[in-house]
A = this chain, B = another copy of it.
Amino acid sequence: MATVEQFVKEIARGNTRAIARAISYMEEGGEPAQELLSMLNQRAHAGIGPHIMGITGAPGAGKSSLTDQLLTYLRSCGKRIAVIAVDPSSPFTGGAVLGDRVRMNRHALDPLIFIRSMGTRGSGGGLSRSVRHALQVLYHAPFDVILLETVGVGQAELDIVYVADTVTVVLTPSGGDEVQAAKAGLMEIGDVFLVNKADLPGSANVAKDVQEMLHVTEREDGWDPPVLLSSAVKNDGVKQWWDACEEHFAHLLQEHRLVKRRGRARVQAMHELLQQGLWREMEHKLHEDDKYARMQEQVEIGDRSPEAAVSQILMDIFKSTLRV
């Protein structure tokens, strides 16, 4: 066990190679991941840890350019930053045009910036688990800020963002963007809203619409999400954006809000793991347990309805019936 302890110490010292290796271990799973995870979980954290920032929005909204500019800005403030990119269109995951790649490489060579990209292939659940595990490693490394960039489409992506302390939703003035965002459930999860491409016409209107939508429901945490304008092209609005995020973090530090928020994220992670685990065990039973395998066959040939089979199985396992 001495080696795992040593490993964790190297992570805590900020050894980039140790951090990268630890995240890979976590992704691979199995014994080493288990050991490392329990060692990390046992390790008491001195302070509140890094500020975990989520950045989400539709493809093409300009998240990557904004992330890039934020990196430049935060570096100029002397911050140590880690980036987790789970956006297929992000330069960090290799899906972008040449110009973006060049920018990204500039940061990749910076020893105080750690960049990790995650594939969006595979199940959403698996991805959100990978992100959570990477965060558990990064949490114990000496970063000031962790940026989590994810494209805001689909439930899988929303499931990822809940681990962030502060979520920024990036919108553009293109037609109906705010309506799409509302449909995708982005209104509920944003702590800061950024109407990007503010040089295009209509941005002020979008900002106004978002502002109005946000005021329909009052948030129970007492935070009033600001709606800001930015222009990634003109390198405009990044400082105001960061100030808003810091203000939100300061808000979280009052009245145990951060502790509560991170606690909720842990419970949600537990629920996610539980859903996946229950289903994996059930699938196993459907294959290995003769009784259940026969039931499934009956459903397949139409001798038993799906409802009747499920009722029976739930009764077996939980002593309760299915309600249609």
Contacts and interface: CB of A to CB of B under 8 A. Distances in A.
Contacts of A88: 183
Interface of A is mostly: helix
A33 B34 CA distance: 46
A273 B37 contact: no
Copies in the complex: 2
Given A41-B305, A322-B277, A270 B282 contact: no
Interface in A295-324: 296, 299-302, 305-310, 313-314, 317-318, 320, 322-324
A37 B263 contact: no
A47 B269 CA distance: 48
A38 interface: yes
B37 A299 contact: no
Interface string A266-304: 110110011101110110110000000000100111100
24 contacts: A26-B324, A29-B323, A30-B324, A34-B324, A37-B307, A41-B305, A41-B307, A88-B183, A155-B155, A267-B296, A267-B299, A270-B310, A274-B279, A274-B310, A275-B279, A277-B322, A278-B278, A278-B279, A278-B314, A278-B317, A278-B318, A281-B317, A281-B318, A284-B320
B314 A277 contact: yes
A299 B266 contact: yes
A13 interface: no
A76 to B, nearest CB: 34
A266 B263 CA distance: 39
A264 B38 contact: no
A154 interface: yes
Contacts of A314: 274, 277-278, 281
Contacts of A306: 266-267, 269-270, 273
A269 B263 CA distance: 34
A264 to B, nearest CB: 7
Given A153-B154, A278-B278, A278-B317, 20 more contacts: A29-B323, A29-B324, A30-B324, A33-B324, A41-B307, A88-B183, A124-B155, A154-B155, A266-B300, A266-B306, A267-B296, A267-B299, A270-B309, A273-B310, A273-B322, A274-B282, A275-B282, A278-B314, A278-B318, A284-B320
A188 to B, nearest CB: 14
